[in-house]
């Protein structure tokens, strides 16, 4: 992506200030904790084993088991296991309209990939070093999928980042 400058909302505006958290619906919270906590090293900040979220999400009676993971800088990854999940997941790729990915910065990409491989998680492609300038200069990135098929991008910043 070419570098460009965006206009931000000014003081007093009700614009977005930052990303607070990313929520991911999972089939099995414990299995997902192995991936995010044990293999990627994200600390669990909080956990709930039976939370009523029906009014929040517009699904009367919906209950979840949840874990909040530390993504750094006050940001969270929230894992949500619904008691009666909708298992209707079609096949999709990173090029499918509406798909998304979670990008996590790691200190040592090679080490992270080694731990993940030990847990049975392999990259979708090859790590690539980016040289297009801007915020991406000297970053090395790779995609893989979490236990539920969510795309996770691991990014290692170069010496300047």
The domain segmentation of the chain, as residue ranges, is 21-82, 101-156
For residue 118, how many C-alpha atoms fall within 13 Å in the half-sphere facing its CB? 10
3-state secondary structure of 68: strand
Token duo for residue 35: 């991936």
Q: How many CB atoms lie within 10 A of CB 28?
A: 14
Decide the pairing of beta strands 44-52 and 128-129: unpaired
Mean pLDDT across 66-82: 94
Q: Are strands 151-156 and 101-105 parallel, antiparallel or unpaired?
A: parallel
CATH of domain 101-156: 3.10.180.10
Q: Residue 65 is encoded by which pair of tokens?
A: 């088991």
| Mean pLDDT over the full length of the chain | 86
pLDDT tens readout for residues 101-117: 999 999 999 999 999 99
Percent of the chain with pLDDT over 90: 57
Report domain 21-82's class.
Answer: alpha beta
Residue-by-residue DSSP string for 136-148: GTT-EEEEEE-TT
Residue 88 predicted with pLDDT over 70: no
């Amino acid at each position: 992506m070419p570098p460009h400058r965006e206009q931000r909302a000014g003081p007093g505006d009700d614009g977005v200030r930052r990303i607070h958290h990313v929520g991911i619906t999972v089939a099995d919270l414990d299995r997902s904790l192995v991936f995010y906590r044990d293999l990627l090293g994200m600390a669990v900040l909080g956990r709930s084993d039976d939370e009523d979220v029906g009014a929040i999400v517009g699904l009367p009676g919906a209950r979840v088991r949840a874990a909040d993971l530390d993504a750094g800088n006050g940001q969270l990854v929230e894992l949500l296991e619904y008691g009666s999940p909708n298992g209707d997941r079609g096949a999709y790729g990173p090029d499918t309209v509406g798909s998304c990915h979670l990008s996590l910065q790691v200190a040592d990409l090679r080490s992270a990939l080694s731990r993940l491989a030990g847990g049975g998680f392999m990259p979708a492609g090859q790590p690539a070093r980016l040289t297009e300038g801007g915020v991406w200069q000297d970053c090395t990135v790779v995609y893989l999928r979490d236990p539920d098929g969510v795309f996770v991008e691991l990014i290692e910043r170069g010496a300047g980042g």
